[in-house]
């Protein structure tokens, strides 16, 4: 209604909201004013309800036919200032269509489970039973540390039968996919999910590993896994209770409490010997999406390679590595690189000097940055080092021990081999400095 009239209206009638194909329409349209024809347009204040008039009376009906409004004549209380030009209004209709959420494209993952235990099968280490893999959302769990093992997980841990867990997963709305590997062709079922066969309820369990990141992108990752004790049997390590080869036991040990916890390992106090033990991690799982282009990490520019020339005097020198080499030096390779016959370092823990001679077998000690080395270079000359800037930090070390010698020669290194030695016989090596007459033996 136009409130400064007594029966003026703005009317938009039968505007189509959909096209012929049923698609929602968005549009803008100008509207004109109409006279409802229910009152006489006398423009008296007592007959116009809008402010500032607030009239409540009705004017005599003028004919009752809807027609275009003639506008304000301005001949009574409603002045010409309340008039208007057409169009009187504009209407805008915008279709707001809620699109159904897009279903994400299914992603196939490749999973590789690696047994990290060592030993000849059936003689040492652990054999894994056929594993089971389940993809799921919130609301499903095979089991976790500190929880009581479910009957399905108990069957898996004690017998290696993964089908009860598969049935449990299949009955959950939160589960998306199940891959239960079958038993070996010879019909032998080893405990696990996957599980260590030479235990009575040891399992390798990875629970709720996220396959997608916060943005919904498929993840590729590798994770080390530890072993758990399902807590359903006593770890008595008796052959009659361990199903894996070479034991083949089928009996159950008394239940020990029913709580999943990290496995204590093999004690080796009964039939299952220590050779069947393992060190953590027990397994490694690698997960990678198939056919999904993974973001490539930008390659960092290589560290610039520098060169440093160092002059060495003929004889003894004290030097340190000015640059970090691409291939770390050992005492052997360092001696060869600079033409040294002797390389000496200080063992800061023992406060003793340790020497290496060029004719000595083996690599010797590592040459590290931030440390000083005494080298004997008979020929002297220039040596060129190549590498990058050192990034290591070196802890403060105690000063080298002071020594008192009657001459300027203070370092003495001897190496050699004893030929045709007899077992059980001790030998003494005597070294004599012919210049000073000093004798050392050991």
Q: Looking at residue 395, what is its pLDDT?
A: 60
Low-confidence ranges of the chain (pLDDT < 70): 62-63, 122, 183-198, 256, 294-295, 303, 392-416
Q: Looking at residue 414, what is its pLDDT?
A: 65
Q: Looking at residue 305, what is its pLDDT?
A: 80
HEC assignment per residue over the chain: CECCCCCEEECCCCCCCECCCCCECCEEEEECEEECCCCCCCCCHHHCCCCCCCCCCCCCCCCCCCEECCCCCCCCCCCHHHCCCCCCEEEEECCCCCCCCCCCCCCEEEEEEEECCCCCCCCCCCCECCCEEEEECCCCCCCCCCCECCHHHHHHHHHCCCHHHHHHHHCCCCEEEEEECCCCCCCCCCCCCCEECCCCCEEECCCCCCCECCCCCECCEEEEECEEECCCCCCCCCHHHCCCCCCCCCCCCCCCCCECEECCCCCCCCCCCHHHCCCCCCEEEEEEEECCCCCCCCCCCCCCCEEEEEEECCEEEEECCCCECCCCCEHHHHHHHHCCCEEEEEECCCCEEEEEECCCCCCCCECCCCCCEEEEECCCEEEEEEEECCCCCCCCCCCCCCCCCCCCCCCCCCCCCCCCCCCCCCCCCEEECCCCCCEEEC
Domain boundaries, the chain: 1-99, 108-291, 303-392+405-442
108-291 — its CATH code? 2.60.40
Q: Looking at residue 229, what is its pLDDT?
A: 87
pLDDT one-digit tens code per residue, 122-132: 677 788 888 88
């Amino acid at each position: 209604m136009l409130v400064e009239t007594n029966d003026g209206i703005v009317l938009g009638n039968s505007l189509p909201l959909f096209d012929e194909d049923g698609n929602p329409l968005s549009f803008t349209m100008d509207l004109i004013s109409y006279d409802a024809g229910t009152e006489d347009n006398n423009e008296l204040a007592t007959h116009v309800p809008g402010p500032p008039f607030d009239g409540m009376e009705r004017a005599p009906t003028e004919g009752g036919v809807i027609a275009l409004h003639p506008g304000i004549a301005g001949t009574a209380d409603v002045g010409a200032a309340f008039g208007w030009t057409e169009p009187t209004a504009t209407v805008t209709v915008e279709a707001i269509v809620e699109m159904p959420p897009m279903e994400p494209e299914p992603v196939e993952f490749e999973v590789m489970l690696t047994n990290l235990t060592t030993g000849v099968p059936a003689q040492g280490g652990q054999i894994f039973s056929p594993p089971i893999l389940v993809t799921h959302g919130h609301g499903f769990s095979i089991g976790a540390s500190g929880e009581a093992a479910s009957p399905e997980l108990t069957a898996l841990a004690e017998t290696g039968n993964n089908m009860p867990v598969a049935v449990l997963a299949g009955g959950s709305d939160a589960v998306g996919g199940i891959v239960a590997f079958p038993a070996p062709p010879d019909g032998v079922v080893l405990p696990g999910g996957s599980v260590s066969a030479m235990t009575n309820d040891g399992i390798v369990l990875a629970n709720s590993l996220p396959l997608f990141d916060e943005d919904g992108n498929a993840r590729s990752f590798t994770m080390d896994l530890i072993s758990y004790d399902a807590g359903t049997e006593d770890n008595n390590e008796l052959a009659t209770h361990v199903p894996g080869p070479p034991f083949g036991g089928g009996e159950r040990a008394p239940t020990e409490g029913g709580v999943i916890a990290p496995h204590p390992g093999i004690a080796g106090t009964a039939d299952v010997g220590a050779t069947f033990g393992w060190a953590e991690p027990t397994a490694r799982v690698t997960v990678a999406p198939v056919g999904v282009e993974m973001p490539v990490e930008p390659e960092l520019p290589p560290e610039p390679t520098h060169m440093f020339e160092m002059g060495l005097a003929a004889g003894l020198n004290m030097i340190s590595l000015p640059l970090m080499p691409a291939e770390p030096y050992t005492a052997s390779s360092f001696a060869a690189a600079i033409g040294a016959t002797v390389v000496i370092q200080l063992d800061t823990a023992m406060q003793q000097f340790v020497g290496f001679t060029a004719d000595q077998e083996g690599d010797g000690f590592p040459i590290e940055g931030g440390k000083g080395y005494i080298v004997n270079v008979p020929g002297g000359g220039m040596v060129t080092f190549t590498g990058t800037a050192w990034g290591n930090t070196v802890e403060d070390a105690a000063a080298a021990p002071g020594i008192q010698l009657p001459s300027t020669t203070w370092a003495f290194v001897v190496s050699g081999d004893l030929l045709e030695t007899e077992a059980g016989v001790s030998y003494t090596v005597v070294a004599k400095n012919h210049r000073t007459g000093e004798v050392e033996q050991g």
